[in-house]
Chains A and B, each alone.
Chain A
Amino acid sequence: MKKCSTICIRSTLLMLAFCLSAQCFGEATADITVTGTVTDAETGEPIPGVSIVVRGTTQGTATDGLGKYTLTVSEEAVLVFSFVGYQPQEIPVNNRSTIDVALQTDIQTLEDVVVIGYGAEKRSRIMGSIGSVSSESIQQSKGIVSPEQAIQGRVAGVNVSSTSGIPGQGLRVDIRGAASVSGGNEPLYVIDGVPMSSGTESRFDFGIPPESPIAHLNPSDIESIEVLKDASAAAIYGSRATNGVVLITTKRGSEGPTQFNFSAGIGFENVRKKLEIASSDDYLEVMNEARANYNADRGLSPGDAGFRPPLVDPREPGQQDTDWFDLVTRSYARLENYNLSVSGGNAKTRFFISGEYMNHEGIIHTNGIDRISGRMNLDHKASERLDLKVSIGLSRTENNRIQNDESGRGILVRSLEQRPYDKPFKEDGSYTVGGVDILRHNGVQVINEQDISLINHDAVFEASASLKLLEGLRFQSKVGGEYRSSHEYVYLNANHPRGGSGGVVHDWRSTRSNMLFENTLTFEHDFTDKLHFGGLVGHSLQKFIYEPSYVSGEDFPSPSFGYIESAGRITGGWTSWTAYALESYISRLNLNYDEKYIVWFTLRRDGSSKFLGDNRYGWFPSVSAGWRLAEESFIRDLEVFSDLRLRASYGMTGNQAGIGDFAAVPSASGGENYRGATGIAIVNVGNPDLTWETANQLNMGLDAGFFGGRLSFTADYFIQKTNDLLYNRPIHTTSGFSSTVQNIGSMENRGIELSIHSVNTEGRISWTTDFNISSVRNELTSLIGEPIPVGEHHVIREGEPLGSFYILRQLGIYQTNDEVPQPQFNQGVRAGDIMYEDINGDGLITSADRQVIGSGNPDFYGGITNTVRFGNFDFSAFFSFKYGNEIYNNWARRLDSFGTYEYALRADNIDKRWTGPGTSNSVPRAILGNFNNQNSTRFLEDGSYLRLQNVTLGYTLPSNVVEKIKARSLRLSVSARNLFTITNYSGMDPEVSATLSPTQLGVDHFSVPQLRSFIFNLELGF
């Protein structure tokens, strides 16, 4: 990299030199006062808030509530009138003192130009499949922490799911189905042209998926999010594009007077639905019934060996049951965010500067995340030929994490599992001790006696210079990157159940660097007035370095000491290093004949340090073509379509995520020490044959618009075939290894996507509806070797989708002993136990009887948004839905165990248990033992839901009121998230998954549920 970074530095200096020598600010004289009114050309109504700027300067004003303005300018000035939703107009003053303007509405302004990989293009010319989210809808998503939440339900073909209601945690962003089996299947995030690294710094397993890789980005800074879905859109990102690409563009300044925008949001969240726990009386009844049944089955009476005596009621007279849920949760969690941005500029220099503070509490005590971030984006036109651009985002995120799920320590589930009569404190005020006084570790104690934080400092930047060489030929050089310094700190003090005798500190620190150096040449040429051609060639180098370190210590003088400096002994420590690099050649060519026939070609060649020898470099081509029928006279003559397009694309993308940087290289590692002497062992057999995972995707699409664009829809059909799937495959351990990274097989995703945009009414009451729905079918089409079981509940098997459940099927309940097959009877199975399907017919229920039943993938999913504006009020309601996915309710194995364990019982199911012939054919009897508690369809539930994701009601104050406080605009709004959810799932929330992995979708270990929130917002512009 040395040589390259020298070049980087040299070119940066060159840019600086250009900048310094250029004249940066223009001049203007002023000697005439112009007044006028700006109206809507169609309705004739005045438009307040229209920006009026003297072209080439920052000088300007805005219209008042009656659409009037006054401005003093030079006689020969040109005024630029612009407002969102209208076509801008430029009008020379020509010595006039009154200029009235009627602005034409522009239904296409918002979607005019779309950011694509390494450039931007008019939407009408794009023939790939790209979903866009505008800053307006990002603004609507109040109370979100990280930007991918803004995509949820908004883009067809993009399935965003939370895994829990813990703020700041990673989300599963699945673009057109799981395209690979490794890793989290997350898309490549590109912020202002810089591809982000996907690593996570959360090293301690809290049962929470790793934090979002873009959690450092302030959603208010985002101008647009583009989701590149098909191969023609994404293939320009080559080996990282199989799971889709998300391009995030931050806001930039525009020419005009300096504008200040301040917003504040304050809200609270609470739990939508609580899980009811059975009372102590009910609990004791069921547990003792289980014991009585056990003894009766074996003919045991008191005094016999193995007799299980009934539980003794330990309660004092009048003792109330403990509500453990209330003890560990806040009654409501607060959230707040404050955001101030300043933007503006003149013809030469434009700027956007912003600052943000965000604080979002979790519902479990001590859990929460806060972020302070700042951004500066500058654009400077150094000369007619040279444009310079800098974008810098800085942030500090502090995440106070909490043990979630079933990670052995999950606060919520472990608290619910306490027996209803267990108490958190003893008479003397000290904690009750898990395993001694109460069943599980005391959640109250855990929360109070630990200090856990993950602090990330992030810097994301890009600096580029774009030089016009000739008309239609530009050279751009860019350096960019991402630096993260991270500190994860876990202190379990001496009073913590796991704090040992004097407290335990785990301290991870890491730095992550991601460096990009990229040069492109873009060209554009019109061969005739109808044949337009354009494209780019380029080269990119990117290197990622990750350096973690760890130290742990124990025995601190008191809980107030918490750093290794004061540890009695250092119990562990290491440092490490890993890196990988990508070298790429990029090219794109597009041809456009008469805006009717459009063809795009892209070709990328990627080399990755992760692969060896001939496997190192790969080609990733794509082609797309489109026919804009609406431009044909025979369609135009029909006067039906405002837009009509047919699109098709085919291309190849790659994947190399989810495998280690050195997975191909066999290696013997150190650290295998005995008695302090160095030990080594072969820890990776390597696989020199390892190669790119590639996906071929065919996409066909149709766009149509009617009634002058008031109704439009987009439909896409796609087939994606992924070959050479990379997977860290479990292998038989007699080999000495539990897994190796291999290319294991092929997979196919087929799907359709439909989105509809409708302007239902216009004028005084405007009402628009956006609807999208997608359906993706995933299937593993070939697999080398045997089916691969994944975790406790899933399997990777040919002919089945990823995320398929692989469990026993419950047929019913044995109503009488006669129904029980003899081999099972011999093992102690009796009437009231579960009748499982005996696949191999051996009379026994074993792992050989597991079968594929359902999966965590939905049949279809989508969202619908209605937005209504009437006068100064605006209202929007956004629903999201998923249908046909299953959830494995793993926590019910304990809270519905009826005797397998001694944990508390869920109230809902106890009365449904089998107590005699005919009493139940679904819920088994109470009995000690594991037979009824095996992984089976008993715990598999329908996970479909319809959720009111967001409702917002806003009021924009009339401009005459706003003017009195010398402001430009003021809007007040209230939003609510998750007001209601319609679902059959019996857990607290259907939007759960223990992991982000597509191979293990849809298992609920009892995560913190999605919360319901109410947020009050103020947006002030001045």
Chain B
Amino acid sequence: MNLHILKRLSAILALIFTAGCSDVLDISPRTSVSPDNLGQNEVEQLLNGVYKQFQNGPGRDNVFLFDLLGGNLLTSNLGGRNEFIEHDVDADNGALRTMWYGYYRGIYRVNILIETLERLEPTPRNQEILGIAHFFRGYAYYSLVTRFGGVPILRTETRDFVERNTEAEVWAFVREELEKAIDLAPDFSSKSDPYYATSDAAKALLARTALTLGDMATATQLSEELIESGDFGLEDDFASIFRSGSDSETIFAFENRFDEGVTFGALFTTVNYPTGGSYFFVPVDEMYDLFDDEDLRKEVTVSSYSALPMVNKYQGGLQGGDPIIIARIAEMYLISAEAQGLAGLDRLNELRVMRGLDPLAIADEALYAEAVAEERRRELAYEGFRWYDLVRTGKAMDELPTVTAEYQLRLPIPVSELDLNPLLEQNPGY
């Protein structure tokens, strides 16, 4: 081997083994950041991520789940069979899993937000955000407990297997969280923008919780506070509540913009509706009979399009943009009316008059309770109330022919969760 060839060979070997660039394998993502770097600059962004998750995560059926379960809806041909309407819910129902995951993913985001805040200076804004975080955790557990009963309470994020807490523990936690939110979250009046969570939203949710738990004093106190606050008022134009824009009733809603949100309204609008639709669900006939003709809510709630029955509260269709209302002042009138018993008749009548109806004169407590319940069904139809109203008042089995056993009053824990977490136990009967 002569020198010339040796030189050439060594040059080639050098080329082979130095061609490797040591940094060629260090490729970093360009569409995300490391969570270790989350700090003050990211707090507002994390909060937006929380809103986004609770707005979209639990899925579009979740918005009116309690109307499906509560006998307010039937499926159209396109909707196919619906297990919620039939009260024959399989634990492997996909929508069910979406709800569970949607809420727990939201809780994870809240916990990350709270843990990030704990590392930072407690500035006034940080404290407000902490309050909003507690509101969302309370909201998430309220939603979970009314669907599944006792569920695991997570005060910090964890990847451990977790056991279910009791239903009572979850209710207590909901109260705790909402009370913190009332303390810390900003007031509605600071921005007067119903698309952000406030201490008023926490009050509304706590009033609802107290009513469920039979704490009528708290329910009355909080609902009256909100009614008297002057920040909200019953709306002359009932339809405006459900069209994005300004109305005086909404305490808190997700804006659910068309480019960010879920197009749940499309499940009601017909395929040939101006904004398009998927037309999965139609009102039960009973809903049309529930409203007197002079009731201003009637046409806004149930109507028809090209001779087909249609829920009319949400008109965004496939173009979306229907706000997801979490709490509005009319519910506070109804909570106050219910919590006070007959003493709340005035609140009931104030609402009825605003809706174009005559005031009622009732002296019997039981008849009054029935009147309030019927008014709730009318007022809050397709806003996700009916089922739990029947459950908390013990009337689900009487009112709904397909609810024949106690176990049906809770939804099953998604089977995928049971499969993946050995500590979780299924609700009895499933």
In the assembled complex, A767 has its CB within 8 A of some CB on chain B: no
In the assembled complex, B363 has its CB within 8 A of some CB on chain A: no
What per-residue 1/0 map shows which CB atoms of B66-108 lie under 8 Å from chain A?
Answer: 0000000000111111010010101110000100110011011
Interface residues of B (CB under 8 A from A): 1, 5, 8-9, 12-13, 15-17, 19-21, 24-36, 38, 42, 44-53, 55, 76-81, 83, 86, 88, 90-92, 97, 100-101, 104-105, 107-109, 111-112, 152, 154, 157-159, 161-162, 195, 255, 257-260, 270-272, 274-276, 278-280, 306, 308, 317-319, 401-402, 405, 415-422, 424, 426, 430
Known: A436-B270, A583-B24, A732-B420. A500 touches B401 (CB 8 A): no
Query: Which residues on the B side are within 8 Å of A679 (C-beta)?
Result: 45-49, 51-52
Cα distance A165–B153 when bound, in Å?
A: 50
In the complex the two chains form, is B76's CB within 8 Å of A435's CB? yes
In the assembled complex, A560 has its CB within 8 A of some CB on chain B: no
In the assembled complex, A730 has its CB within 8 A of some CB on chain B: yes
Q: Considering the complex, give the chain A residue whose CB is closest to the CB of B42.
A: A680
In the assembled complex, A485 has its CB within 8 A of some CB on chain B: no
Contact of B19 among A305, A517, A678, A792 (CB under 8 A): A517
Please choose the segment from A283-291, A335-343, A681-689, A917-925 that sits at the chain B interface, where 4 or more of its residues have CB less than 8 A away. A681-689
Q: Could you tell me the distance in whole angstroms from the C-beta of B243 to the nearest C-beta in chain A?
A: 17
Q: Which 5 pairs across A and B sit closest by C-beta, in order of nearness?
A: A736-B108, A435-B78, A679-B48, A667-B32, A681-B49
Query: Which residues on the A side are within 8 Å of B55 (C-beta)?
Result: 674
In the assembled complex, A578 has its CB within 8 A of some CB on chain B: yes
24 contacts between A and B (CB under 8 A): A4-B21, A433-B270, A436-B279, A469-B9, A477-B15, A500-B317, A539-B16, A577-B30, A665-B34, A667-B34, A667-B35, A673-B260, A679-B48, A681-B49, A681-B52, A732-B161, A732-B417, A734-B417, A735-B159, A737-B105, A737-B108, A738-B101, A788-B419, A930-B90
In the assembled complex, A669 has its CB within 8 A of some CB on chain B: yes
In the assembled complex, A826 has its CB within 8 A of some CB on chain B: yes
Cα distance A500–B317 when bound, in Å?
A: 8
In the complex the two chains form, is B27's CB within 8 Å of A580's CB? yes
Q: Which of A510-532 contact B (CB under 8 A)?
A: 517, 519-521
Cα distance A884–B405 when bound, in Å?
A: 44
Q: Could you tell me the distance in whole angstroms from the C-beta of A410 to the nearest C-beta in chain B?
A: 14
Contact of B24 among A4, A554, A735 (CB under 8 A): A4
Contact of B154 among A7, A519, A734 (CB under 8 A): A734
Cα distance A975–B152 when bound, in Å?
A: 64
In the assembled complex, A900 has its CB within 8 A of some CB on chain B: yes
Interface SS, B side: loop
Query: Which residues on the A side are within 8 Å of B76 (C-beta)?
Result: 435-436
Known: A521-B12, A538-B16, A678-B45. A787 touches B419 (CB 8 A): yes
In the assembled complex, A497 has its CB within 8 A of some CB on chain B: yes
In the complex the two chains form, is B48's CB within 8 Å of A674's CB? yes
Cα distance A91–B226 when bound, in Å?
A: 108
Query: Which residues on the B side are within 8 Å of A578 (C-beta)?
Result: 29, 31
Query: Which residues on the A side are within 8 Å of B97 (C-beta)?
Result: 733
Q: Could you tell me the distance in whole angstroms from the C-beta of A413 to the nearest C-beta in chain B?
A: 13
In the complex the two chains form, is A902's CB within 8 Å of B49's CB? no
Q: Considering the complex, give the chain A residue whose CB is closest to the CB of B154.
A: A734
Q: Considering the complex, give the chain B residue whose CB is closest to the CB of A823.
A: B429
Query: Which residues on the A side are within 8 Å of B108 (C-beta)?
Result: 682, 735-737
Query: Which residues on the A side are within 8 Å of B279 (C-beta)?
Result: 435-436
In the complex the two chains form, is B31's CB within 8 Å of A930's CB? no
In the complex the two chains form, is A541's CB within 8 Å of B24's CB? yes
In the complex the two chains form, is B52's CB within 8 Å of A734's CB? no
In the complex the two chains form, is A731's CB within 8 Å of B159's CB? yes
Cα distance A470–B8 when bound, in Å?
A: 11
In the complex the two chains form, is A733's CB within 8 Å of B101's CB? yes
Q: Considering the complex, give the chain A residue whose CB is closest to the CB of B110.
A: A736
In the complex the two chains form, is A434's CB within 8 Å of B35's CB? no
In the complex the two chains form, is A434's CB within 8 Å of B78's CB? yes
Contact of B272 among A433, A473, A678, A901 (CB under 8 A): A433
Query: Which residues on the A side are within 8 Å of B27 (C-beta)?
Result: 579-581, 609, 661
Cα distance A786–B420 when bound, in Å?
A: 7
Contact of B317 among A2, A473, A501 (CB under 8 A): A501
Cα distance A662–B33 when bound, in Å?
A: 11
Q: Could you tell me the distance in whole angstroms from the C-beta of B244 to the nearest C-beta in chain A?
A: 11
Q: Which of A536-594 contact B (CB under 8 A)?
A: 537-539, 541, 543, 554, 571-572, 576-583, 585
In the complex the two chains form, is B53's CB within 8 Å of A672's CB? yes
Contact of A571 among B53, B259, B422 (CB under 8 A): B259
Residues of A in contact (CB 8 Å), total 96
Q: Could you tell me the distance in whole angstroms from the C-beta of A287 to the nearest C-beta in chain B?
A: 13
Q: Which of A706-756 contact B (CB under 8 A)?
A: 730-738
Q: Could you tell me the distance in whole angstroms from the C-beta of A371 to the nearest C-beta in chain B?
A: 33
In the assembled complex, A440 has its CB within 8 A of some CB on chain B: yes
Cα distance A678–B255 when bound, in Å?
A: 15
In the assembled complex, A677 has its CB within 8 A of some CB on chain B: yes
Cα distance A684–B32 when bound, in Å?
A: 10
Cα distance A828–B109 when bound, in Å?
A: 42
In the assembled complex, A17 has its CB within 8 A of some CB on chain B: no
Cα distance A784–B148 when bound, in Å?
A: 29
In the complex the two chains form, is A436's CB within 8 Å of B107's CB? no
In the complex the two chains form, is B258's CB within 8 Å of A571's CB? yes
In the complex the two chains form, is A607's CB within 8 Å of B270's CB? no
Q: Could you tell me the distance in whole angstroms from the C-beta of A550 to the nearest C-beta in chain B?
A: 13
Known: A433-B271, A792-B92. A500 touches B162 (CB 8 A): no
Cα distance A11–B26 when bound, in Å?
A: 25
Known: A1-B24, A500-B317, A733-B105. A677 touches B34 (CB 8 A): no
Query: Which residues on the B side are within 8 Å of A577 (C-beta)?
Result: 30-31
Query: Which residues on the B side are within 8 Å of A2 (C-beta)?
Result: 21
Cα distance A609–B28 when bound, in Å?
A: 9
Q: Could you tell me the distance in whole angstroms from the C-beta of B85 to the nearest C-beta in chain A?
A: 12
In the complex the two chains form, is A682's CB within 8 Å of B35's CB? yes
Query: Which residues on the B side are within 8 Å of A475 (C-beta)?
Result: 12
Q: Considering the complex, give the chain B residue whose CB is closest to the CB of A616.
A: B25
Contact of B77 among A520, A607, A902 (CB under 8 A): A902
Contact of A3 among B21, B112, B270 (CB under 8 A): B21
Q: Which of A658-709 contact B (CB under 8 A)?
A: 661-662, 665-670, 672-685
Q: Could you tell me the distance in whole angstroms from the C-beta of B259 to the nearest C-beta in chain A?
A: 6
A571, A668, A738: which has the most chain B beta carbons within 10 Å? Answer: A668
In the complex the two chains form, is A900's CB within 8 Å of B81's CB? yes
Cα distance A521–B16 when bound, in Å?
A: 9
What per-residue 1/0 map shows which CB atoms of A491-512 lie under 8 Å from chain B?
Answer: 0000001111100000000000
Q: Considering the complex, give the chain B residue whose CB is closest to the CB of A304.
A: B401
Query: Which residues on the A side are within 8 Å of B415 (C-beta)?
Result: 789, 847
In the assembled complex, A85 has its CB within 8 A of some CB on chain B: no
In the complex the two chains form, is A519's CB within 8 Å of B259's CB? no
Q: Could you tell me the distance in whole angstroms from the C-beta of A669 to the nearest C-beta in chain B?
A: 4
Cα distance A500–B278 when bound, in Å?
A: 10
Known: A4-B19, A734-B162, A826-B405. A680 touches B49 (CB 8 A): yes
In the complex the two chains form, is B29's CB within 8 Å of A667's CB? yes
Query: Which residues on the A side are within 8 Å of B162 (C-beta)?
Result: 732, 734
Cα distance A520–B15 when bound, in Å?
A: 10
In the assembled complex, A929 has its CB within 8 A of some CB on chain B: yes
Q: Could you tell me the distance in whole angstroms from the C-beta of A512 to the nearest C-beta in chain B?
A: 15
Query: Which residues on the A side are within 8 Å of B401 (C-beta)?
Result: 305-306
Q: Which of A581-622 contact B (CB under 8 A)?
A: 581-583, 585, 607-609, 616
Q: Could you tell me the distance in whole angstroms from the C-beta of B330 to the nearest C-beta in chain A?
A: 24
Query: Which residues on the B side are within 8 Å of A674 (C-beta)?
Result: 48-49, 51-52, 55, 255, 260
Q: Could you tell me the distance in whole angstroms from the C-beta of A869 to the nearest C-beta in chain B?
A: 49
- Interface contacts beyond A583-B25, A674-B48, A735-B104: sample of 18 additional A-B pairs, CB < 8 Å, sorted by A: A433-B272, A435-B280, A517-B19, A571-B258, A585-B17, A607-B25, A616-B25, A667-B32, A674-B51, A674-B255, A674-B260, A680-B42, A733-B100, A733-B105, A736-B108, A901-B81, A902-B77, A930-B88
Cα distance A306–B45 when bound, in Å?
A: 50
In the assembled complex, A974 has its CB within 8 A of some CB on chain B: no
Cα distance A673–B52 when bound, in Å?
A: 6
Query: Which residues on the A side are within 8 Å of B31 (C-beta)?
Result: 576-578, 669-670
